Amino acid sequence: MGKVKSAYFCQNCGAQSPKWIGKCPSCGEWNTYIEEVIRRDGDYKQAHDLSYLKPIDKPQLINEIEWTDTIRINTSDDELNRVLGGGLVPGSLVLIGGEPGIGKSTLMLQLALNIKNSRVFYVTGEESSQQISLRAKRIGKENPDCYILNETSTQHIFKHIERLRPKLVIIDSIQALHTDSIDSSAGSISQIKECAGEFHRYAKMSGTPVLLIGHITKEGGLAGPKILEHMVDTVLQFEGDRNYVFRILRATKNRFGSTSEIGIYEMQQTGLKEVSNPSEILISQRDNNLSGITIAATIEGIRPILIETQALVSTAAYGTPQRSSTGFDARRLNMLLAVLEKRSGFRLGVKDVFLNIAGGIKVDDPAIDLAVVCAVLSSNEDIPLDPNICFAAEIGLSGEVRAVNRIEQRIMEAEKQGFKSILLSKFGMKGVNRNKYKIEIIDKGSIDDVISYLFR
């Protein structure tokens, strides 16, 4: 038995050090170094033999490299294709992160069952094959060329890959795997790094796309070393509130496409269903005479979506007024309330304010500001607003109504969804041809103008 070799790894960024250090010199975090055994004997074991794939490339002159437009593999899922930038690229390594229970395994299994004419290899390290097959039954799709394996050792997985020669490999999840070439436990930084490295080499050499499911940490980042995100070609984030049915798939990194596309799904009894017209579902059916409800014309990625915001303002029952916000930044809500208090004289400091974005969706488009402010005012005054009006503008600290980007896209979406008018900033109207639209365009410059238009 050789010497035990170990090193210290930063659990935040994956940096390595021969001895313990308090502050990571690479990412600046404190107390993140943990000792991990790397290998027990001196020689580096070749993890597995990939020589059956292809001889190693030799250097080529850049002008002589032949290329064709990358042929993309159609995933049979419009939302996923869109987020990937037009389909799966052969030889690409894709990482899908998301909270537990959000639907990562479901999404990947659907992909495995839907894909046409390709042999798919789905490796599960977390659930049994029976569980996967049960899930496949719920989804109700069949793919006669889809193989499931319950395995966590990459050496064994690659042996099966060599025999099966799949056209697509799915790993559920990268944290569950371990490789013999490193002795630390599964899920540790060095294991994740090495396992991902092995699949990276395999994907590049064989031209087979590999999809890795990754866990996320409490803070919402992908668990494992930051280097994992550098290694892969595409990072997809699957998000949403588990108590609601909507899920959003975003690319946070994509070497083969834009990162501004999003995919929207609805979790149903039979798996995830693509949502092609999200606005229709996010606006709830309601009676006309409820106060505190407004519709915002927002842009998620590059898709316009109409979203309902609901506010409840009531006199504080206890000493300190409560502020609570779901789907919208609580600090931003406090700022908007302060603007209303200071610039327009509403005494909101003594009121409880609750804000909710319908559908469990998180919005960070600043254009939702105006809808939030109007919902708060509508609830405060207990005056319902016209359900046929929607809003899109940012609010500045001095109470000005500021312009937002992609204004025409928002107007068109509002018109498409049957709204009669849209309230915008008067500073963003340059180049907007009002005669083009049937929807009435109202433009205001300050909160006070908006208030006198809506409430007086």
Q: Which residues bind ligand TYD (CB under 6 A)?
A: 98, 100-106, 135, 138-139, 267, 269-271
Q: Is residue 106 near Mg ion by the rule CB under 5 A?
A: no
Specify the residue, 51 or 130, whose C-beta has the smaller distance to Mg ion.
130
Q: State yes or no: residue 105 binds Mg ion (CB under 5 A).
A: yes
CB half-sphere exposure, 397, CA atoms < 13 A: 0
Partner from ligand TYD, Mg ion, none binding residue 15, C-beta < 5-8 Å depending on class = none
Q: Which does 276 bind (CB under 5 to 8 A by kind): ligand TYD, Mg ion, none?
A: none
SS (H, E, C) 26-90: CCCCECCEEEEEEECCCCCCCCCCCCCCCCCCCCCCHHHCCCCCCCCECCCCHHHHHHHCCCECC
> Out of ligand TYD, Mg ion, none, which partner does residue 138 contact, by CB within 5 to 8 A per kind?
ligand TYD
SS (H, E, C) 121-152: EEEECCCCHHHHHHHHHHHCCCCCCEEEEECC
Q: Tokens for 277? A: 């017209």
**Rounded least distance, CB 243 to ligand TYD, Å:** 11
What is the nearest approach in angstroms of Mg ion to the Cβ of residue 108?
A: 8
Q: Per CB under 5 A, which of residues 13..32 are in contact with Mg ion?
A: none
Closest-CA residue to 97 (of 13, 200, 175):
175
Which residue, 50 or 195, is less far from Mg ion as judged by CB?
195
CA atoms within 13 A on the CB side of 423: 29
Residue 124 beta carbon to Mg ion: minimum distance, rounded to whole angstroms: 8
Among the candidate windows 103-111, 149-157, 217-225, 309-317, which touches Mg ion by CB under 5 A? 103-111
Instruction: Using the minimum distance from each CB to ligand TYD, give the nearer residue, 102 or 171.
Output: 102
Distances (CA, A) of 214 to 142, 172, 209, 368: 25, 8, 16, 31
* Closer to Mg ion by Cβ: residue 105 or 154: 105
- CB nearer to ligand TYD: pick between 131 and 409: 131
Output the CA torsion 99→102→107→108 (10° steps).
Answer: 40
Q: How many residues bind Mg ion (CB under 5 A)?
A: 1
Written as one letter, the residue type at 350 is V
By Cβ distance, which residue is nearest to Mg ion? 105
What minimum distance in Å lies between the beta carbon of 269 and ligand TYD? 6
Residue 345 touches which of ligand TYD, Mg ion, none (Cβ within 5-8 Å per kind): none
Tokens of 49: 């033999």
Comparing CB distances to Mg ion, the nearer of 148 and 407 is 148
What DSSP designation does 289 have? T
End-to-end CA distance of the chain: 85
